[in-house]
Amino acid sequence: MNFSELGGTGMTSARTRARMIDRLKQQGISDARVLAIMGEVPRHAFVDEAISHKAYDDTALPIGFGQTISQPYIVARMTEIALGAARHDKVLEIGTGCGYQTTLLAQFFKTVYSIERIGGLSRVARERLSKLGAYNARLRHADGSKGLAESAPFDVIMLTAAAPIPPENLLDQLAVGGRLIFPVGTDEQELRLIERREEGLLESRLEKVKFVPLLPGLA
Ligand code: SAH
């Protein structure tokens, strides 16, 4: 990919990114692949110019339409967990948003399918990803809550919006050795992982999180 196409190869943003990486390490992110790629991708190019100076802060930021890009720590954490899947062939992301997480996944998986229900966000993300040369990302404007049966099975299914109950309907689309990563809950949410092993499903509760809700239908 060509990150200079989105601007931000300047020294200032490189230095701020380096500080973000130091912070991620202190917060417990240890996967060198994740740290390296987050040190390269110009996160500020994924948010409005007016708030781009905050892009490397440890916080979620608005991306329009009432949605947010997750804080760097949680994006790093979810990417680390995704890399624990047995194979890195196909990943399905539900909730493209600004396309930042999609861009990271596109580095590590052969094909990234990403679904977004808000047309305006999907369109802008598509433009960014094509400028970046992320030709292995397939974006779709649709309701992702039923997954993408025609392209299943996936090695990873990642939800970046929270459902009130675990999205067990998606387990049918998960490959053996695959990982379903999702925030669940309404006011109180937690990040969970379900692994499909040869011998069955294994669920782990990871940590408290705060995501926008998974909503039905198109917008
Ligand atoms: N990964 C994104 C996070 C965006 S926030 C990023 O890096 O920016 C979550 C996104 O999920 C929002 O854009 C929201 O519109 C989308 N979303 C919510 N419900 C959805 C659904 N049923 N199908 C697809 N996308 C959905």
Q: Is residue 140 part of a domain?
A: yes
Rounded to an integer, the average pLDDT of 73-90 is 98
**Using 50, 70 and 90 to split pLDDT, how confident is the model at 11?**
low
130 catalytic per annotation: no
Which of 75, 94, 113, 186 for mutating ligand 1's site (highest number of atoms within 8 Å of CB)?
A: 94
What CA–CA distances, in Å, run from 10 to 7, 16, 126, 168? 8, 10, 24, 44
Rounded to an integer, the average pLDDT of 148-162 is 98
Q: Is residue 5 part of a domain?
A: no
Say whether pLDDT at 9 is over 60.
no
State how far the Cα of 118 lies from the Cα of 125, in Å rounded to an integer: 11
159-205 pLDDT, tens digit per residue, is 999 999 999 999 999 999 999 999 999 999 999 999 999 999 999 99
Domains: count for the chain: 1
Q: Is residue 177 part of a domain?
A: yes
Q: Is residue 52 part of a domain?
A: no
Q: Is residue 71 part of a domain?
A: yes
Which of 101, 186, 212 for mutating ligand 1's site (highest number of atoms within 8 Å of CB)?
A: 212
Q: Is residue 82 part of a domain?
A: yes
Centre of ligand 1 to C-alpha 213, Å, is 8
What CATH number is attached to the domain comprising 121? 3.40.50.150
189 has which bridge partners?
185, 209
Does ligand 1 lie within 6 Å of residue 147's CB atom? no
State how far the Cα of 139 lies from the Cα of 142, in Å rounded to an integer: 9
From 13, 52, 70, 145, the catalytic residue: 70
Does ligand 1 lie within 6 Å of residue 215's CB atom? yes
Q: Is residue 146 part of a domain?
A: yes
Centre of ligand 1 to C-alpha 117, Å, is 7
Position 7 scores a pLDDT of 61
Q: Is residue 151 part of a domain?
A: yes
State how far the Cα of 152 lies from the Cα of 138, in Å rounded to an integer: 14
Residue 135: which domain range? Answer: 60-209
Q: Please state the pTM of the whole predicted model.
A: 0.97
Closest listed residue to residue 23, CA positions, set 41, 40, 38: 38
Q: How does the average pLDDT of the chain come out, rounded? A: 95
- The answer to whether 163 and 169 have CB atoms below 8 angstroms apart is no
